[in-house]
Amino acid sequence: EKQIRVKVNDKIHGVDIKTLPHPGFPTDLQAPMISFLTLAEGTSVITENIFENRFKYVDELRRMGADIQIEGRA
């Protein structure tokens, strides 16, 4: 099977992430990371430094109840 399991022994806390070219944080993981961070306590900031309009999926997450604001590239 191809799957990923995430086991959390403690609370998930907000983080700040900036997408960057390799070896930085990959822009392709930005969307799944934001989905995961909707479960975190506190505020997370994701700054997209590679592609414009990469946050188009955020409206769908909002419809599912996510509290997300977009400010420029973050």
Residue 52: band (very low, low, confident or very high) from pLDDT cuts 50, 70, 90: confident
CB 30 within 8 A of CB 54: yes
CB 12 within 8 A of CB 39: yes
| pLDDT above 90 as % of the chain | 77
Amino acid at position 45, single letter: V
If you average pLDDT over residues 67-74, what whole number do you get?
A: 89
What's residue 18's pLDDT?
Answer: 96
Which three-class secondary structure state does DSSP give residue 42?
coil
What's residue 28's pLDDT?
Answer: 94
CB 46 within 8 A of CB 30: yes
